[in-house]
Structure formats: C-alpha cells, structure tokens
Structure 1
C-alpha cells in the first residue's frame, strides 16, 4: 500500500513544474521590462524578454511560475521561470535564489538542467532554462505504482553519475526526489530545481528539503554536506521499487522521529542486493555511509546491485531508457499535470533598496 506523501518542502519553493498547469495564452509578467537585455549566463547570447513568445504556463510554485516560451529567432523552446521578488524577500529565499544561479552557471552535465540566461526587473527574477518535455519521474511512478528492479537500476545509475559530478565540484544538491527528476524526450533524466543546491566550503546548517528525504544530520542540525545526497538516493531507490518512501507519517515530526530511529522494513519483493545497497545508504553515521567513504562514488558504482551497469556508457546516454515519454513535438506540454489557470498577479514594483540584493542577478 502506498503512503500518502508529504509533498510540501521545508523552506522550499518546490519544483515549479510539479505544481504546474497547462494553460494557453499566458504572457510573461512585466512586459515593460522586455527591452532591458541581460547577458546570458552560459551561451554568450544577449537575450531580452521580448525575444520570446509565451506558449503556456507549465508550472507554478510558492513564489514562481514557469512558462513554456519559444525563441522568435531560432524557434527553440525553453522554460522561463519567473519569481516574484516581494515573495522571495518575504520568504527569505534570497540566498537560495543566488545559490541556484551560481550552481547552474557552473555546471554542465547531460543529466542536469541547463541555465541559459538570468534577468530581473523591478518585480520579477527570471531564469531561462531547458524545457524538458517528458514530465516528472514522479508522474510515471505514481501511475505505475512502483518500478521494476531493472527500471529502478537505470534511473539510479544516471542519478549516481549526476551526484558524482556535482560532488566533484563541491556542490551538494539537497533536494533529490522523484518530483525533481524530469525525463527528456528520449527517456533520460534531467535533475531540475537547484533552489537548495549549494557550493560548499565546509558544512552548512540550513534546514531544507522534503521531510521524507531529509538525512538525520539535517534534522539534528549537526551541519551537513555531500553525504545528504547519498542518504536521499537510498530513500529514492526504496520509493521507486516499493512505491512509497521508507519513512512516512501523517506529519513531518512523525517522519523525523522514524528517520532518527532508522528502522527499515522492506517489502518482500525487493532484490537482495538492492536491500543491501539501501541499508548502506541509510546509515545514520555519515562516516560509514556509502558514497561518503574514502573511495566516494566509486564505492557506490562497485556495489553488487550495479554489476550490470557499464559506467562509461551511462554519462554518454548509451543505456536504453525503460520509459520513452510520449512527446509529439518539442513544445509538447501533455506530460505535465493540468491545473486551473490562476491569474498571474500584477506585482507592485519593488523599491530600489530591495532590488540591491539582486543587482548581480
């Protein structure tokens, strides 16, 4: 029996795709700022808002909305994330927004979302990113109930490569869960929503993430780092193969108690080797957690469950995806949930002193 997931994040905007609606004819907010061009974060091209036709809204979050937009010149599709500056400030998310830009500007990997351009006016922050039309892994898991061992193995292998890459750059992701894993048109993964990602100099103490996926050291405010991503991978593999997370309750406090108790009850159908792998990830002592020992990600890759995987082929996208999303064209929105259209509220301009926080955005 599947558990009811506590889907709200802690201190989290959430994946804006997840809460999204497919609503036609929306316009990006604050068109008056369209002429104000900013330099692309990665591509070198200078964009402005007026370069894009807005096709539809594909997601909404606590303070953000994601539009599917089409480049008037190249006819390419992108996801344009717009965040209300007053809400970002009110919810004290300024640093998370800056972290997200910093991390996405630095990374380049086949399993991570790409950032092409950032911009702000006196109402909104904008991030232009890949549009990934296959939808969320969460949707496929929800419709199937659970994944087979081989399907879970495929997604886990691609996620291991993504985490290994981030950690090699001293970046901790901190929000691994099925809602933040998108599938491209061929069925390969793309991690999205880097609002909690952070470049680490040492440890960090911010309580953030989704309750079911929080590592014990986050709950206990002991300071945390890269090991939290390996813990979350253990939770994710369990959820993919069981259909529910290993620690669940009707309220977050109950979830935290179960995480700290660390008691695991596996469904009978789980493979022997995957149960061993999950146990090695869900170790409360970080020093003994798989992925965080001397050989790092190599210890994970050498685990018996991953024996069928050709690790050189994984980042080259040579493994055959178990699910091929139905995508009729690059701008297809049918793989995202439809919600009633909410009016995008016209925000009042933010005073210049508040905009100072975002002058480099």
Structure 2
C-alpha cells in the first residue's frame, strides 16, 4: 500500500549534479556602453548555454565543492535572467496542489542540445500563499541550493520567478520512483537493499553533518532511480535546517513517523534515522513494520516500538533495523556519539566501499530500460492544468512578494 501523507506532499521528479565553475552568474555587470536591455539579453543567452553545458558534463561533487555559497555556484543559484519561455514544456511528470513538474528542454535548442532535458517545477504563488506553504517552499529552495551537486540528491540547477509563479529547474531522473520497483519486485534482495540503503546513508550524513538539515519525509515514493541505476532523493518540502535544535511541526507519512513526532515532544535530525530503519525493513520485507488501516493504530504501534522480523531476515539486518528504530532517541544509531559513522561501521554494510559508492564507481543494481534521456515511460499521464484559476492580485503582490525575493 502506498503511504498516505499527513501534510501536503508534492511529487518532484529529477536527476544528477555538478559544478563547472565557481564564478557567480549574477556577479557580472553591464559592459562599458552596454544598456540594460542588451545586458539582460546577453546574460540570458549565456545562462542558457551554461545550462546546456552543465547537463552534458555532470559529475558528483566533493563535499567541499558542494559547500560553496550557492550564490557562487552555477548549480543552485538564483537566476535574475531566466524565464519560463526559455523552456519548451514537453510532458507533465507530477502534480501537487500548488505545483506541477514538467519535463522540459531549452526552447529552440541547437541540434546538439536537443536531447538535454530537465525537470521544471512550477509553483503558482497564489496557491503557495493560500495553502500557507510559503515557509516550506522557501526552505525547500534554500536547502536544494545548499546541497546542489550531491551525487544522490536531486540537483536544483537554478531557480527563478516571474510575477505569478516560482520555478525550480531540476535534473531529470528518468527511472521513476523506487516505490514502483519495490512493488513490482515485492521486496529487494539483501544486496540491492544494502546498496540503496548505503546511498541513503551518504545523503543523511551530508544533510545532517554538513548542513544541519532534517529531511523529515524519507520513504520510497521520494526516492527516484536515475538512468545509471543510482538513487536521487527528491521532495524537500519538509526539509528544515535545525542544527542541534528541536522543531515541533507535525509532518511526514504515518508509517515512517518517529515516536517523538507523534508525541509532539520536539524532534530533530534523529527522525531521519528512525525513518531510515523503517525504509530498510520495507526494502527487505516489502512493507513497513507498522501498519493498520487506522492511522491511530499505526501511531500506537510506533510509540510501542516493537518490530516483528520475518524468520528469513539476516541477523545483521535485524540488528541495524532494531538499533535505528529505537524509541529512546539518545540510544538511536546515527544519533549516538559518532553520528553517521556508527551506521556506516555496522556489519550489515561490511561489503560497501564508501568512497567508490560516493563517486558512483559501483554499478547500480537496477538499471532502467530507457529509449533515451527524455524517456517518460516510468511516469504516469496527467490531466491538463485547469483553466480560470485564481489570479495573483496586486494586493497579494504587495503583501507577499518580498517572501519570494531569494528565488
């Protein structure tokens, strides 16, 4: 069964990341004798060229490269020149209450750029405001900017806006959701589970220890498979920079909620390690350990924290799941002294070469069958956008638009 989100969830669809320069796209000023109109046109064309070049030469970045200020990066920057009309919208990849994700390519591409595609997420400002999602959208954009270039996190290449909408240009991940592969296979074997779990460990290690970010919505539906069979974590709508502090917002998916979220006693990054344990169990068994038609029954099971393991599950798998899904946060693997290193050192991961994995030298266990980089066979079809939607009025612009300045 697909998990049902407690709060608003958006499907995002994306792909692989890299930097090509440390110079800022927004540092440059008009050349001598160049008027503002010519400057904007030139910068717009230069940015489109950079996008095409980036897509052609992606590579995983080292953590120190990712940590560069987003305003100094070619990926993750806020563009003051790009416009929606710079892209040809090919097909809807996913929809939410206030967003739609499109497969897109540069408008009027050169022949060599015809197969270079992106995922363009369009968020209508009026809907973001009406649904009180301004803070979540800002958090998502800022976190994605900060982590742009990580090998297993969707890369936000650029963000921009116009009067009515916000845009996030992301890498396209053509393999679709891990959830779909898991349902077709019923369960993953131990080797596949270890490989994908290890990539998630590297994601959480970076988010927690380099960025101080709690992801807060880990589940198979938010993990995509790229064309090379590696994972990409998407949907950062609930991600929040918390450092060592606690937050109280109730968000996530019932089967994956940590006990401290349900009790509303304050939670931090440790919720991701609990959810990771649930995910490992679902990889190996085919369903989460806590389940009931009634969400309240699920919460009761989670707070009790008693997991039943199939007899065929290995002892090392049982041990790592049990140590991750520990109700006492102070004893939870990943949260105890040593952080992510304690997870990486667990015997269940003894066959993983972490450096080779980070640099994608290991072949992914599931390679999607694709006709080309723009193949959308792993995504559903969606109805066209409804007409006659609420306008973004001048009054709303004056009251709220400053909240979107960093787009």
Tell me the TM-score normalised to structure 1 length: 0.89
Contact kept? 1:6, 1:252, Cα under 8 Å? no
In structure 1, distance between residues paired with 2:152 and 2:402 = 34
**Counterpart of 2:356 in 1: which secondary structure?**
coil
Aligned-pair distance for 1:340? 4.5
Is the Cα–Cα contact under 8 Å of residues 13 and 119 in structure 2 kept in the other structure?
A: no
1:284-323 correspondence to structure 2 within 5 Å = 284-323=327-366
Q: Tell me the equivalent position of 1:360.
A: 406
Contact 2:214 2:242 in 1 (8 A): yes
Superposition pairs for residues 61-140 of structure 1, below 5 Å?
Answer: 61-72=96-107, 73=109, 74-75=113-114, 76-107=116-147, 108-140=149-181
Q: Equivalents in 1 of 2:201, 2:141: separation in Å?
A: 23
Contact 1:213 1:232 in 2 (8 A): yes
- Partners of 1:244 and 1:97 in 2: how far apart? 30
1:54 to 82, 86, 89: 89
Q: What is the match of residue 54 of structure 2?
A: none
Q: What is the CA deviation profile of residues 289-332 of structure 1, one whole-angstrom value per residue up to 9, with x for unaligned ones?
A: 00011111111111111111111111011222111001111111
Which of 270, 276, 279 is matched with 1:233 structurally? 276
The partner residue of 1:193 within 232, 235, 238 is: 235
2:206 match: 165
| Greater radius of gyration (CA) | 2
1:48 CA displacement: 1.5
SS in 1 for 2:159: strand
**1:92-121 alpha-carbon deviations (Å, 9 max, x no partner):** 211110000111111131001111222233
Taking only aligned residues, the RMSD between alpha carbons, in angstroms, comes to: 2.2
Find the aligned partners of 1:15 and 1:263 in 2 and give their Cα distance.
31
User: Looking at both structures, which has the greater relative contact order when contacts are Cα pairs under 8 Å and sequence separation is at least 6?
Assistant: 1
Paired with 2:387 and 2:104, the residues of 1 have a C-alpha distance of 16
Q: Do the aligned residues in 2 keep the contact of 1:277 with 1:303 (CA within 8 Å)? A: yes
Cα pair distance change 1:347/1:122, threshold 3 Å = farther
CA distance in 1, matches of 2:184, 2:168: 30
Partner SS for 1:47: coil
For residues 151 and 345 of structure 1, the distance between their equivalents in structure 2, rounded to whole angstroms, comes to: 47
Equivalent in 203, 223, 227 of residue 181 of structure 1: 223
Cα pair 2:228 2:367 within 8 Å, conserved: yes
- Is the contact between residue 211 and residue 256 of structure 1 (CA under 8 Å) also seen in structure 2? yes
Selected match of 1:269 from 293, 306, 312: 312
Residues 331-357 of structure 1: CA deviation (Å, up to 9, x unaligned): 110111234445365441242223232
Change (3 A) 1:58 1:5: closer
- Contact kept? 1:84, 1:124, Cα under 8 Å: yes
Give the gaps of 5 or more residues in structure 2: 15-40, 48-69
| Residue 259 (structure 1) shift | 0.5
Q: Check conservation: 1:115, 1:128, Cα contact below 8 A.
A: yes
Do 2:10 and 2:95's aligned partners in 1 also have CA atoms closer than 8 Å? Answer: no
Task: Show structure 1 runs of 5+ residues with no match.
Answer: 19-34
Instruction: Give the whole-Å Cα distance in 2 for the aligned partners of 1:153 and 1:335.
Output: 24
